[in-house]
Amino acid sequence: MRVKWAKWTPSPNFSAREGANVECVVIHHISLPPGKFGGGFVCDFFLNNLQPDAHPFFEKIKDLKVSAHFFITRRGKAYQFVDTDCAAWHAGKSEWLGRAEVNKFSVGVELEGDMSSGYTESQYKTLGKLFKELKKAHPAINSSSLTGHEHISPGRKTDPGPLFDWERARKLL
């Protein structure tokens, strides 16, 4: 499924779901360079167009091939990189409810943020709008389907972190 109101920006970093249905939504945060918002670097990263000489941190991640289904900026603008009928490469080594390979049965949503900045009203508003679309297209999604990268990859990942309002997000879903 493509969301009509999200800016379609197709990433090459995806694969087939191999028959799996979408059952969960994984919330992440990202800022590139770390702690900086805006600038278009997140989109470049998911499109394999990040220039390593643009910032010293980018040299460390230049060879990574990752994506998310959606990216929501601080102002609430949504980008879609991968059709939800395909698997985006967002979860890495992960497990949800005893099942590995979370990419195969999840939708990944990146929020522009970090561990020290709260999420914006605009981001929650867009997230709620996105959840409505996801539930229509993937009926197995419900409020218990929501999880964070920190939950599916404990010890390896910490996002979206303690400033994400899980209660509010579950009400939106």
Between strands 95-96 and 99-100, the pairing is antiparallel
Token pair belonging to 49: 């167009």
Q: Quick check: is 59 catalytic?
A: no
All residues at 6 or more sequence positions from 134 whose CB lies less than 8 Å from its CB, including other chains: 1, 22, 25, 84, 107, 141
The Cα–Cα gap between 73 and 75 comes to 5
SS (H, E, C) 150-168: HHHCCCCCCCCCCCCCHHH
Q: Which residue's entry shows tokens 């698997």? A: 87
Residues 173, 142 contacting (CB under 8 angstroms): yes
Q: Which residue is catalytic, options 59, 95, 101, 110?
A: 110
Core vs surface per residue 95-119: b (16+ CB within 10 A) or e = ebeeeeebbbbbbbbbbbbbeeeeb
**Active site members:** 110
